[in-house]
Amino acid sequence: MKLVVLGSGSRGNAFVVTAAGCSLLVDAGFGPRALVQRAKQAGVDLRGLAGIVLTHEHGDHARGAGPLARKVGCPVFASRGTLTALGDRLDGTRRHAVAPHAIVGVGPFALTGCRTSHDAAEPMAFVLAAQGARVGVAYDLGRPTAAVRYLLRDVTALLVEANHDEVLLRTGPYPAAVRARIAGMGGHLSNRAAAELLGDLCHERLQSVVLVHLSDRCNRRDLARAAAEQCLAGRGFRGDLFVARQDEPLDPIQVAPDAGQLELGIAG
């Protein structure tokens, strides 16, 4: 499996997972032209997408979904609440509602999701499994619930938000109400909370961790990395740690088959 983060942050989020010649775009938080350009820069062709998976309806995650789906003729997968909230922005597309904890087959992928506590219609975290590997994505979390922790157990690669540094948020430019929303139950994870979650989810076969959805105004890449590194080191993590960029893709991340998942028969 190959994972390509096209960009992630306060102004847009999108990544592509490819397996067996089939690609899924997870979130489309940039305009369709920008998505195609970013994918081309990363060596990914979006014309053959098998589908677009949306975590929720906010613009920094769904802005380009309708136009791109119509352009390439692929379906959109999301919770029923997300599809309803997007409404006519998805007109002319095929839509498939993903129920929490159900397994949906898309080409070689087995897609599974659960609810998160973000302030959206019906936001979800997802795991995409194929070819003996499992990629988990969880951002806009508010708080990492027991369901999210269960979903993300034993993943091979993990994208998790490290949205803000708590000090920078308190001293930053946002009004008090916005700061409270970001730090609240329906908001985003701090670097410290993300590191604690990573510590809980770390296991000996975890290959890659990507920190995503960093705030432009209330975080720095070095602060997010330092918090995650300290916690992961304490758990004996031997994989690779990446920090997503807002304005350019990361280099492709290869996700090798996990022998443990193959033996369990739960990896697609």
Tokens for 217, please give them.
């105004």
- Position 258 scores a pLDDT of 84
For the domain spanning 2-250, the CATH number is: 3.60.15.10
pLDDT tens-place string over residues 108-128 = 999 999 999 999 999 999 999
- Position 248 scores a pLDDT of 96
Q: Which residues face 138 on adjacent strands?
A: 160
Tell me the residue type at 246. Answer: Q
**DSSP code per residue over 173-236:** SS-HHHHHHHHSTTS--BHHHHHHHHHHH--TT--EEEEE---SSS--HHHHHHHHHHHHHHTT
pLDDT tens-place string over residues 233-245 = 999 999 999 999 9
Query: pTM, whole model, 2 decimals?
Result: 0.95
Q: Where are the domains of the chain?
A: 2-250
SS3 of 79, please? Answer: coil
Whose CA is closest to 250, among 217, 223, 220, 210? 210
Cβ–Cβ < 8 Å for 5, 159:
yes
Q: What is the number of other CB atoms lying within 10 angstroms of the CB of residue 40?
A: 12
pLDDT tens-place string over residues 205-214 = 999 999 999 9
